[in-house]
C-alpha cells in the first residue's frame, strides 16, 4: 500500500490537473517535479481510486444503442437519431440533418462520394448540409439512374449538383433511367459514353450514401417513374423480397432476390456497395423496418443512420 505522503502527493496533483485545469508542465514547475513524474502520478490517481471518471450521456443521445448496433451487426459505425415520434416525414427530416452533420465531418480530399437518386431522406440531408471548406479532388457521382418523370426529375439532379456545390466538388451524373423496359435497352444505354463516365467510377467510390426502401415505393420514387409494375412487385413479394437499396432487392436475411428484374436496373450493384469504405444507409420508420434489418443482415451497408424507435427494435430482434 502506498505511503500516506505519496497518496497526498497523488491527490494534490490530481486536483491540480482535473479540478484546476492546470497543464502538466505547469504542475511540474509549481511542485518542482519532472513532467514525467506528474504524468505518472496522474496515472496512479486512477489506479488508487482517487480519480474515478464517469461519462454522463446527455438526453437525446443514444450511445449505448449505437454501440449495440455496431456489435450486433458488425457495423463500422451507427448513428441513432432522437425523434419525437414515429412519423415518417419527421424522421426523414431528423435523419437528413444527422446525415448532413456526419458528412460534414467525414469528407476528405480526393473522396469519390456516391449518392442515390429518388430518396427524400437524402434530399433532406442535402438541404441541411452546410458549405464545406475546399478539399481538393472531391467527386460526387450519381449511383442510380436519375432520368424519369420530367416533373420530378429535378430532385435527382438537385441531389447530385447541390451536394457537389456544397462540398466544392465536381458532379458526375448518370443521365439515364433507373429502370429500363428490357435488359437489351439497359445494355445499350449502359454502353453510352456519358453513362460510362459515371459507371466507371462505381468501383472507386469511397463514401456511398443510400436510402433503404420497403417493397412499396416511396412517393418520390413512384412519381419518378423509376418503379416496377404492380405485377412485378407482386413477383418480388412472392420471392420473399422485403426491400431494396439502389433498386436491388433482398429478403429478410439480406440475400439478393433474383427474378430477372434486376437485369433492367442501372445502378451500382450491392456487391460493389458492400466493398465501399463507408457505405452509409440512411433510413428509419416502422414501414422500413424489415428492409433495414435485411440490409444489415446482408452486410450491404457498414454505417447506419436511423431513428431511436427503429434502433430499439433492431437491437431486440
- Where are the chain's structural domains? 4-47, 63-315
- Which strands, in side-by-side order, build the sheet including 170-172? 77-81, 303-307, 278-282, 207-211, 112-115, 139-142, 170-172
63-315 carries CATH number 1.10.10.60: no
| pLDDT confidence bin for 9, thresholds 50/70/90 | confident
- pTM summary value: 0.83
Question: Please, are residues 217 and 227 in contact by the beta-carbon 8 Å criterion?
Answer: yes
CATH tag, 4-47: 1.10.10.60
Query: Mean per-residue pLDDT for 17-21?
Result: 91
pLDDT tens sequence across 40-93:
999 999 888 888 877 666 677 788 999 999 999 999 999 999 887 778 888 999
- Quick one: pLDDT at residue 2? 58
Query: Mean per-residue pLDDT for 285-314?
Result: 96
Amino acid at each position: 500500500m502506498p505511503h500516506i505522503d505519496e497518496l497526498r502527493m497523488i491527490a494534490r496533483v490530481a486536483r491540480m490537473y482535473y479540478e484546476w485545469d492546470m497543464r502538466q508542465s505547469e504542475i511540474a514547475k509549481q511542485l518542482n517535479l519532472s513532467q514525467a513524474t506528474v504524468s505518472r502520478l496522474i496515472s496512479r490517481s486512477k489506479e488508487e481510486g482517487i480519480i474515478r471518471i464517469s461519462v454522463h450521456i446527455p438526453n437525446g443521445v443514444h450511445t449505448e444503442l449505437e454501440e449495440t448496433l455496431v456489435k450486433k451487426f458488425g457495423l463500422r459505425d451507427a448513428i441513432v437519431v432522437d425523434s419525437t415520434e414515429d412519423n415518417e416525414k419527421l424522421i426523414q427530416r431528423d435523419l437528413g440533418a444527422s446525415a448532413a452533420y456526419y458528412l460534414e465531418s467525414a469528407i476528405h480530399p480526393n473522396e469519390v462520394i456516391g449518392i442515390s437518386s429518388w430518396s427524400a431522406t437524402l434530399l433532406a440531408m442535402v438541404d441541411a448540409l452546410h458549405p464545406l471548406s475546399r478539399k481538393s479532388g472531391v467527386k460526387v457521382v450519381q449511383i442510380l439512374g436519375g432520368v424519369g418523370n420530367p416533373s420530378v426529375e429535378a430532385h435527382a439532379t438537385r441531389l447530385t449538383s447541390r451536394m457537389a456545390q456544397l462540398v466544392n466538388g465536381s458532379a458526375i451524373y448518370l443521365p439515364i433511367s433507373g429502370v429500363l423496359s428490357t435488359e437489351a435497352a439497359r445494355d445499350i444505354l449502359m454502353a453510352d459514353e456519358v453513362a460510362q463516365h459515371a459507371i466507371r467510377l462505381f468501383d472507386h467510390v469511397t463514401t456511398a450514401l443510400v436510402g433503404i426502401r420497403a417493397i412499396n415505393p416511396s412517393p418520390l420514387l413512384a412519381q419518378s417513374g423509376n418503379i416496377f409494375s404492380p405485377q412485378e412487385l407482386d413477383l418480388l413479394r412472392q420471392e420473399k423480397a422485403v426491400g431494396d437499396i439502389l433498386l436491388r432487392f433482398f429478403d429478410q436475411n439480406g440475400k439478393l432476390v433474383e427474378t430477372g428484374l434486376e437485369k433492367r436496373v442501372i445502378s451500382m450493384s450491392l456487391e460493389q456497395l458492400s466493398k465501399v469504405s463507408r457505405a452509409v444507409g440512411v433510413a428509419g420508420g416502422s414501414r422500413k423496418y424489415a428492409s433495414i434489418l435485411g440490409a444489415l443482415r446482408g452486410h450491404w451497408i457498414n454505417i447506419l443512420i436511423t431513428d431511436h424507435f427503429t434502433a430499439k427494435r433492431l437491437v431486440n430482434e
